[in-house]
Amino acid sequence: MDKKEVPQDKGVLDHWHNIQYAVGENGKYTLVPSSGWEPVNIANYQAWGIIEEGLSQVIEKVSAGELSPLAYHMEKGLMDIALLAKYARLSRWRVKRHLRPDVFCRLPLNLLEKYAKVFNISVEELQKLP
């Protein structure tokens, strides 16, 4: 692809640039910034739609008392139990247990601080939905 043919379709990532390889004036490959390409933009829109749908489902479950607020922050951060356990340096079964509202509300401050640090939020933000 020639340097002048690099797609510049606006999409989800409007203000960010992808870097594409293209053939420059001298006939050699060069890096060219691109604001997007329609097929990639469609895939990004679909992916973000799925993420937003999952987040709204988790919000409903937290509001209904089925899950703790920790589940919301995990979903928002695109984390699963194994990943959060690794970042918080806890076992997976403990993180899974902390998803229960009755267990989460009794967690000691040091564990809440661990989770808050992982999500880069305060303990107060961790304990509630936005």
The full set of domains in the chain, from first to last, is: 3-36 (no CATH), 40-126 (1.10.260)
pLDDT tens for each residue of 107-129: 999 999 999 999 999 999 999 88
Give this prediction's pTM: 0.75
pLDDT tops 80 at residue 9 = no
Instruction: Say which residues have a Cβ less than 8 Å from residue 99's Cβ, sequence separation at least 6.
Output: 67, 68, 70, 71, 81
- Identify the band that residue 70 occupies on the pLDDT scale cut at 50, 70 and 90: very high
pLDDT tens for each residue of 20-63: 788 878 888 888 877 777 787 788 889 989 999 999 999 999 99
Distance, in Å, from the CA atom of 91 to the CA atom of 78, rounded to the nearest integer, reads 19
